[in-house]
Amino acid sequence: MSYQVLARKWRPQDFQQMVGQAHVLRALMNALDENRLHHAYLFTGTRGVGKTTLARIFAKCLNCETGVTAKPCGECRSCREIAEGRHVDLIEVDAASRTKVEDTRELLDNVQYSPTRGRFKIYLIDEVHMLSGHSFNALLKTLEEPPPHVKFLFATTDPQKLPVTILSRCLQFNLKRMPVEMISGHLSTVLEQEAIPFSEAALRLLARAADGSMRDALSLTDQAIVTGGGAVSEADVQDMLGLLPHEHLIGLLQAIADDDGQRMLGIVAQMAQLTTDFTAAADSLIALLHSIAVQQVVTRDDADEDIAALAKLLSPADVQLYYQMALYGRRDLPLAPDPRGGLEMLLLRMLAFRLDDGQSQPHSTQVEKKKIVVEAIAEDAQGRDAKSCVSTTVVKTIPPLASPNTWHTILPQLNLSGMALPLAQHCLLESITDTHITLLLDESGSTLQSPRAAAQLSEALAQHYGRELQLQFTVTVLTEETPEKRGLREAAERQAAAEAAITNDPFVKQLQETFGAVIVPGSIRPRTNGS
């Protein structure tokens, strides 16, 4: 006897064997039990979720020799012939190959005749959205006044392409994509019945790759059995699907958490030797970050040990930031010169924009003003003496500066770059002593503060004043104008002046009066120096 693939062998033969779709099963079974039968049913949903299978079971329920029932016997001649696809009163049509109106008219010529042997003559039209407009028009008349012995069962993956006149004459049932847990659970049952060894981790990978389709999951399982030589293991499935091994994913995030770029790039090099699909690797990284975020919110005792460890190692803000970066990086991966380079840039971006742990903690209370002392670390300060950053008990205080314009004058002379520049732009100078300098940091820019940015700013101030200074920030709501606010104000003033100049220009006014010209909103830009 020839081998029968799992997707066909394990195709449900009645409603009780169906996996999922409880909302559709409940409605159909109630309609059969109460004999409230419509003349046309439309089953919609993505591939492999049971549209055609459900339609065949429903046809079996209608024509079972024991009567219209939600539990067909499966033993009578009618049930067996429908299961084998050779029942004379079940006409199955693939609309994708019979799109012409002539095909539809030929099909409907026999609608008026009574069924040959069954209770109903049933037309099962798969991928009905592929019919032409004229074919739908030919079908519409029959749907408006159907003979009592005819039932139409339609299946489609794209109901939006169906005319509203057809949709309004059908009972529509939307079959849902199947969750990963449901698919892996069914695969476990199938493999147990088939006496095939498997690992739960491998089934989860197959279920995730199936993307909500049970048929795809069974087909992938068939391939995994062949790949593994009669067993389904996680390593074989990863190799078959081109997925990144779990330990490599964990290693990447651990390297980022440890700020170890060399180890991170080394793991990417190992991935290249394994001929990994880097797009799939990005997908796996996104899925891992999602699992970590869920673990941080809802702690699960049965969670993977590595995921639980990373949930404690990474702050929630870091995980959210990495997840968003991974989404954008995955989207832009086809634009990279090569997939490996695109993934490396995604990971390097995560490393460069890693948040400070202190900034990632949520604020329990809102305070109007608080003082934060930032002590530059020797490594970040490029070899500066750590002792110079320690606060002293004797401080010679210089009176606070009367005008905030002093900081506006100092800032351009510091030649800052990177994250230190926007941090400084949100500050004003409060006071300076022989050993200390205190900056007022506007609350709107408090998220910009990090040890690296503070160390860069402290180094620039030390070079500017010619001595070591311990940098302190006072986070507050500033009413004075910071360099950031001044820049925005001046930019708005330049924009307003440019718009006024164009609007009041005599030539522009003449064009508007003569030809009805309209200035395109947003098209006016102020002139820059040298333009």
Question: What contacts 363, CB < 8 A, 6 or more positions away?
Answer: none
CB distance 139 to 9 below 8 Å: no
Please tell me which residue, 247 or 80, carries the higher pLDDT value. Answer: 80
Query: For residue 531, what pLDDT is reported?
Result: 52
Assess whether pLDDT exceeds 50 at residue 387: no
Q: Does the predicted TM-score (pTM) go above 0.75? A: no
Q: Please give the class, per CATH, of domain 6-174.
A: alpha beta
In tens, the pLDDT along 177-200 reads 999 999 999 999 999 999 999 999
d(CA 203, CA 497): 65
Give pLDDT, residue 294: 92
Least confident of 378-382, 459-463, 481-485: 378-382
Worst-scoring range by mean pLDDT, 120-134, 175-189, 238-252, 349-363?
Answer: 349-363
Given this chain, do its domains 6-174 and 370-480 carry the same CATH topology?
no
Residue 198 is given by DSSP the state: B
271 contacts: CB under 8 Å, gap ≥ 6:
244, 248, 278, 281, 340
Residue 17 has pLDDT above 70, yes or no: yes
How does residue 356 score in pLDDT terms, banded at 50, 70 and 90? very low
Q: Which CATH class is domain 246-357?
A: mainly alpha
Q: Would you list the domain boundaries of the chain?
A: 6-174, 180-241, 246-357, 370-480, 485-515
Residue 405 scores a pLDDT above 80: no
11, 13, 14, 19 alpha-carbon torsion, rounded to 10°: -10
* CA-to-CA dists, residue 159 to 47, 179, 346, angstroms: 13, 22, 38
User: Quick check: 357 pLDDT over 60?
Assistant: no
Mean pLDDT of 448-472: 91
Quick one: tokens of 407? Answer: 């900081």
Q: How far apart are the first and last CA of the chain?
A: 82
Name the CATH architecture for the domain at 180-241. Orthogonal Bundle (1.10)
Of the listed ranges 106-110, 127-131, 415-419, 422-426, the least confidently predicted one is: 106-110
CA 419 vs CA 79, 222, 352, 354: distances in Å: 72, 53, 11, 12
Nearest to 427 by CA among 467, 382, 376, 485: 485
Least confident window among 156-170, 200-214, 396-410, 485-499: 396-410
- Main-chain phi, psi angles of 450, to 5 degrees: -145, 155
Write the pLDDT tens digit of every residue in 269-319.
988 887 668 888 898 899 999 999 999 998 777 677 888 889 888 888 899
Average pLDDT over residues 325-334: 92
Q: 3-class DSSP state for residue 152?
A: strand
Rounded mean pLDDT of 447-471? Answer: 91
Provide the β-strand partners of residue 152. 40, 123
DSSP string of 437-461? EEEEEEGGGGGG--HHHHHHHHHHH
What is the distance between the alpha carbons of residues 234 and 105, in angstroms, rounded to a whole number? 52
More confident residue, 397 or 531: 531
Q: How confident is the model at residue 384 (pLDDT cuts 50, 70, 90)?
A: very low
Residue 401 has pLDDT above 90, yes or no: no
Mean pLDDT of 101-127: 86
SS3 521: coil
User: 3-state SS string over 472-520?
Assistant: EEEEECCCCCCHHHHHHHHHHHHHHHHHHHHHCCHHHHHHHHHHCCCCC
CB 121 within 8 A of CB 111: yes
Q: What is the mean pLDDT of residues 42-66?
A: 93
DSSP 227-246: HTTS-B-HHHHHHHHTPPPH
pLDDT-wise least confident of 27-41, 341-355, 483-497: 341-355
**Which band of pLDDT confidence, cut at 50, 70 and 90, is reported for residue 495?**
very high
Residue 258 CA to residue 271 CA, distance in Å, equals: 20
Res. 391: pLDDT tops 70? no
**CATH class held by domain 370-480:** alpha beta
Beginning with the edge strand found earlier in the chain, give each strand of the sheet holding 90-94 in spatial order.
90-94, 121-126, 150-156, 40-44, 171-174
| Distance (Å, whole) CA 163 – CA 156 | 13
To the nearest whole number, what is the mean pLDDT of the chain?
Answer: 85
